[in-house]
Amino acid sequence: MMDTPWGPLPVADAHIHFFSHIFFASLAAQKSVPLDELSSLLGWQIPATDPAALADHWIKELDRRGVQRAAVIASVPGDEDSVIAAAQRHPDRFLAYAMVNPCAPGAHEKIAQALDSGHLKGLCFFPAMHRYTIQDDRADALIELLAARRGVAFVHCGVLTVGVRRKLDLPSEFDLRFSNPVDLHAVALRYPKVRFVIPHFGAGYFREALMVADLCPNVYMDTSSSNTWMRYEQDPADLRAVFRRALAVVGPSRLLFGTDSSFFPRGWHRQIFETQARVLYELGVSADDARMVLHDNLAGLFS
The pLDDT tens digits for 230-277 are 999 877 679 999 999 999 999 999 999 999 999 999 999 999 999 999
Would you state the pLDDT for residue 22? 98
Q: Supply the pLDDT for residue 236.
A: 61
Is the Cβ–Cβ distance between 1 and 65 less than 8 Å? no
- Cα separation, 194 vs 86, in Å, equals 24
Distance of CA 152 to the CA centre of its chain: 11
pLDDT on residue 229: 94
pLDDT at 165: 96
Q: Count of CB atoms within 10 A of residue 159's CB? A: 17
Instruction: Measure CA of the first residue to CA of the last residue in the chain; give whole Å.
Output: 22
Residue 73's nearest CA partner among 21, 127, 15 is 15
Identify the CATH assignment for 2-300 out of 2.120.10.30, 3.50.50.60, 3.40.50.360, 3.20.20.140.
3.20.20.140
Number of continuous H segments (helices) and E segments (strands) in the chain: 14, 10
Provide φ and ψ at 81, rounded to 5°.
-65, -30
Are 219 and 191 a contacting pair, CB within 8 Å?
A: no
pLDDT at 233: 83
Contact (CB, 8 A) for 115 and 122: no
pTM for the full model?
0.97
Question: Which regions in the chain score pLDDT beneath 70?
Answer: 236
For the stretch 198-227, pLDDT in tens is: 999 999 999 999 999 999 999 999 999 999
Region for residue 175 given its phi and psi (left: phi exceeds 0; alpha: psi -120 to 50; beta: otherwise): beta
DSSP bridge partners of 69: 12
Residue 254 Cα distances to 3, 14, 210, 257, angstroms: 23, 12, 11, 10
In the chain, beta strands by DSSP E: 2-4, 7-9, 12-18, 69-74, 94-100, 120-125, 152-155, 195-198, 219-222, 255-256
φ, ψ at 4 (rounded to 5°)? -135, 170
Report H helices in 43-79: 51-65
